[in-house]
């Protein structure tokens, strides 16, 4: 496959080790992974996607793109044979847990392979915010420095390059955790804006509110509960005929039980075409009280011309100098929930009822998407950084002594632990 991104005539091999199998219609992480796959296909890579996870019902068929699919086992020497025979030029770890599990094996058997970590979001940041939210207090430095962060930051240091989706997290990694800039790459959503035109559905053609997000993602479930228990009743008092349509993959019984037609709170479940249902809604609600990374639901809302109401956590890392395509409720985990719900509901009703403001914010959303998430602007920068890395790998690694040190100890400790588990499994 040829590309404008300097695709080479020499065959190159990429191994992606996936935490899950990609489901682009179920989560932003799945969509982002698919954009990375398309990017590397454009660079001429032969791609193998391997994962130890079970395949979900909404899994994308990567073989349609010419990508080889392989199931691999955790703590099993069969991976050593597999990766040695594949001999990849580049290995992409989907989230730090996969680097922990397979990184030492890749380094041992394919020492010259470039190792890239795709964080998706900083799991340690999300966890720290969730903890603070449950305890109704502001996040502290001690929260950020928990064991999960030590594992995640160590994986970042051990890799040659880490893809960071959020501008905020780029700054956090460098300023709080002292991660060198040369092993980081800001890689936000890479949207194919050439294949998209603004929605023809205007203010008058749209109705109702929408909230969307994978139910397996804890921040999304928390947002649904927040809507049900505090925000939606306040909106419904002022807009008694309005409905809130809740979409998301894998809704558990505790979510479907919230469905209530009389209250206008409708749990729809998985959307076959998320863009279609988003373009029919007038306002997107995302009362996210904790989380990290970028919010795919909000990027999709703005891409579909649907203004939103969200929180500072929801909008974090997405503006990059642009004005927001909706309303942002100033939320801190120490804020009283009732006060937050009242402010959020007031903003939602105002946006839903005012056509002039709605159109202004819709245009700001289009402008933000075009400025910040156009793959034609992002992919060349990523390709250039990869090319530089390929041509200067020994020098690049020599400037990362902490990474070398962590790699040395990780190789020993993780190798022996994994081999012990493998031996134990053989005798049980």
**Domains of the chain listed by start with CATH number:** 12-190+375-426 (3.40.50.2000), 194-372 (3.40.50.2000)
Helix (H) or strand (E) holding 163: strand 161-164
Give the per-residue pLDDT at 60.
93
Give the per-residue pLDDT at 8.
47
Give the per-residue pLDDT at 407.
82
29-43 pLDDT, tens digit each: 999 999 999 999 999
Give the per-residue pLDDT at 10.
62
Higher pLDDT, 412 or 285: 285
> Is the pLDDT score of 22 beyond 60?
yes
The number of beta carbons lying within 10 Å of the beta carbon of residue 10 is 7
Percent of the chain with pLDDT over 70: 93
Give the per-residue pLDDT at 1.
33
> Is the pLDDT score of 136 beyond 90?
no
* Number of residues that make up the chain: 428
> Is the pLDDT score of 62 beyond 80?
yes
Is-contact 364 290, C-beta < 8 A? no
- Comparing CA positions, the residue from 50, 114, 106, 116 lying closest to residue 80 is 106
End-to-end CA distance of the chain: 47
- Comparing CA positions, the residue from 407, 389, 385 lying closest to residue 99 is 407
> Is the pLDDT score of 384 beyond 60?
yes
Give the per-residue pLDDT at 417.
62
Give the per-residue pLDDT at 137.
87
> Is the pLDDT score of 9 beyond 60?
no
Q: Is 356 left (phi over 0), alpha (psi -120 to 50) or beta?
A: alpha
- Comparing CA positions, the residue from 262, 236, 266, 261 lying closest to residue 251 is 266
Give the per-residue pLDDT at 332.
73
Give the per-residue pLDDT at 415.
64
In which band, very low, low, confident or very high, does the pLDDT at 418 lie, cut at 50, 70 and 90?
A: low
- Sign for the pseudo-dihedral over CA of 172, 30, 90, 110: positive
Average pLDDT, the chain: 92
Higher pLDDT, 114 or 426: 114
267-318 pLDDT, tens digit each: 999 998 899 999 999 999 999 999 999 999 999 999 999 999 999 999 999 9
Higher pLDDT, 417 or 309: 309
Q: Of the ranges 86-95, 348-357, 415-424, which one carries the lowest mean pLDDT score?
A: 415-424
> Is the pLDDT score of 7 beyond 60?
no
Give the per-residue pLDDT at 427.
63
218-265 pLDDT, tens digit each: 999 999 999 999 999 999 999 999 999 999 999 999 999 999 999 999
Please give the Cα distance from 317 to 278 (Å, whole number): 22
Give the per-residue pLDDT at 2.
34
- Comparing CA positions, the residue from 148, 98, 102, 143 lying closest to residue 123 is 148
Give the per-residue pLDDT at 337.
83
8-state DSSP, 229: I
Strand ranges for 204-333 from DSSP E: 209-212, 244-247, 265-269, 283-286, 308-311, 326-329
Is-contact 219 130, C-beta < 8 A? yes
> Is the pLDDT score of 45 beyond 90?
yes
Is-contact 175 209, C-beta < 8 A? no
- Across the range 99-115, mean pLDDT stands at 95
Q: Of the ranges 38-52, 344-358, 403-417, which one carries the lowest mean pLDDT score?
A: 403-417
Percent of the chain with pLDDT over 90: 79
Give the per-residue pLDDT at 53.
94
């Amino acid at each position: 496959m040829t590309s404008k991104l300097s695709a080479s005539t020499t065959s190159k091999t990429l191994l992606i080790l996936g935490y899950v199998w990609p489901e682009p219609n179920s989560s932003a992480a799945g969509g982002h992974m698919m954009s990375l796959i398309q990017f590397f296909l454009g660079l001429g890579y032969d791609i193998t996607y391997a994962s130890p996870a079970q395949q979900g019902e909404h899994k994308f068929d990567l073989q349609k793109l010419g990508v080889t699919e392989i199931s691999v086992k955790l703590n099993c020497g069969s991976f050593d044979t597999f990766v040695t025979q594949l001999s990849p030029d580049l290995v992409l770890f989907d989230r730090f847990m996969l680097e922990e599990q397979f990184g030492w094996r890749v380094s041992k058997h394919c020492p010259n392979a470039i190792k890239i970590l795709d964080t998706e979001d900083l799991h340690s940041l999300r966890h720290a915010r969730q903890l603070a939210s449950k305890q109704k207090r502001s996040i502290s430095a001690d929260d950020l420095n928990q064991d999960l962060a030590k594992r995640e930051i160590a994986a970042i240091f051990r890799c040659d390059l880490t893809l960071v989706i959020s501008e905020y997290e780029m700054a956090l990694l460098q300023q709080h955790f002292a991660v060198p800039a040369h092993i980081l790459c800001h890689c936000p959503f890479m949207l194919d804006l050439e294949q998209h035109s603004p929605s023809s559905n205007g203010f008058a053609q749209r109705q109702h509110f929408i909230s969307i997000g994978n139910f397996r993602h804890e921040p999304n479930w928390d947002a649904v509960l927040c809507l049900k228990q505090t925000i939606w009743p306040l909106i419904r008092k002022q807009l008694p005929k309005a409905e809130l349509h809740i979409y998301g993959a894998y809704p558990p019984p505790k979510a479907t039980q919230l469905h209530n037609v009389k209250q206008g709170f409708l749990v729809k479940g998985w959307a076959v075409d998320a863009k279609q249902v988003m373009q029919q809604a007038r306002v997107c609600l995302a009362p996210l009280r904790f989380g990290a990374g970028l919010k795919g639901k909000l990027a999709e809302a703005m891409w579909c011309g649907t203004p939103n109401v969200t929180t500072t956590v929801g909008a974090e890392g997405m503006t990059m100098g642009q004005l927001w395509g909706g309303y942002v409720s100033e939320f801190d985990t120490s804020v009283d929930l009732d006060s937050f719900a009242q402010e959020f509901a007031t903003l939602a009703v105002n946006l839903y009822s005012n056509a002039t403001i709605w159109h202004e914010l819709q245009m700001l959303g289009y402008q933000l998407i075009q400025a910040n998430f156009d793959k034609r602007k992002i992919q060349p920068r990523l390709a250039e950084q990869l090319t530089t890395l390929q041509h200067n790998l020994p020098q690049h690694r020599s400037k990362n002594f902490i990474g070398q040190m962590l790699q040395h100890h990780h190789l020993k400790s993780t190798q022996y632990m994994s081999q012990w588990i493998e031996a134990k499994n053989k005798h049980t």
